[in-house]
Chain A
Amino acid sequence: MNYLPGTASLVEEIDKKLLVVLRDGRTLIGYLRSIDQFANLVLHRTIERIHVGKKYGDIPRGIFVVRGENVVLLGEIDLENENNPQLEEVPIDDILEMQREEQIQKQQEEERKKKSMLERGLQPHSELHDDLF
């Protein structure tokens, strides 16, 4: 099967280890097993990876069926360099805790911004970090 020139196809990525970033900001890593024309994905041996700063934690998730519209970004994992990341792996619980802290911090930051904007007479437009669905 030939593709038209200049086109990319997910077919090339099948059975490769991919990193997929979803619209809600989650990061999945797994083997792409199947796709369709909507870029719906089936990920196998999936882990969800949470990054906080220089640390990360993996949560095993198993099989993931991802609706295509939720895919923000997707790319093949470099298997050769997979095992020497610049990041440090920490246990799941730790990373979850760190993530929560980070979120709280962000919220507070947001609050402060809002407040100061209101003080200056600006209407804070609630920043939608993502399209909430």
Chain B
Amino acid sequence: MRSSSFFHRRRRKFSSPQGRNQNLHRALRILSVVSPKLMENKGVLMTCPMSSYLEEQLQKRFRLLKLWDSQMKADFLKQNSQLISAVVGNTVLGADSELIDSLPNLEIVSSYSVGLDKIDLVKCKERGIRVTNTPDVLTDDVADLAIGLALATLRKISVADGFLRNGLWKNSDFGLTTKFSGKSVGIIGLGRIGSAIAKRAKAFGCPIGYHSRSRKPNANYKYYSSVIDLAANCQILVVACALTDETRHIVNREVIDALGPKGILINIGRGPHVDEPELVSALVEGRLGGAGLDVYENEPEIPEKLFQLQNVVLLSHVGSDTVETCKAMADLVLANLEAHFLGKPLLTPVV
């Protein structure tokens, strides 16, 4: 008789973390089979420091050029433009129109990110340049951090940590904080990351609502056709959508007012999703209850007024910055590049 564990194992293959990261496993298989020396004449331009592991591996397998090696970037590009077949960019520096124009032999942009807002996708399409990103491998990290930020903001965990480190517990009590379980959560963007956030929040008994370009037929959560309605009907608003022309400042003054003095905003999307000056004044004036922020409009600049606030948690765009995920992202970038140069199907193509 087959034991129930047999079926359990089969189910696990597709619903386990391993099953979901099929691309990562394909990546690792490609990398283990391809000889590093095969593509050592292929010029790959890395736009900025993003991962020392990735840099090392690119150096081993390709002819790596680092844009930050030179003070005079324009000259550097002119001198090396013919050599460059691939660009590896990230959320800080991608492949904009100017860069693409300067590289006549560019074949592929392999982004060390899931977000594509720093890549001129239209131009890539026009020129037949392939584009890949790193979806799925970072979904869990970003979703984990979104919940971590909500807990940290509501339960003032970071503030309490500072309270103890400054020796204040001896003479005073810390006081009460705000409950998280059961609070209503509104998610802007119910893609991979938004869905992963919803799944976690549900385990805390949080009712979930969402706003998306269109209703998701398989989502068992309440849909709101406007962000303002979503904000008015939730206590924790999470930004988890892609940054496009349409979603720039999707969280504006009206949305912030609808969220209100007891509401908190969590942003793990992109800084420009939120009208930052409006956010700051709402927080300073007490019109918004609090915020957990991983992204800002002009990173690494952060409005200094936020530093005085205890109802705000501030991170430095670390959504997927774990040892485990960074390696997985780097492996995916490498595998996409190698698949391209070997004429194999790309693992995670966008264009």
- Chain A bound to chain B: no
- Which A residues form the contact surface with B (CB < 8 A)? none
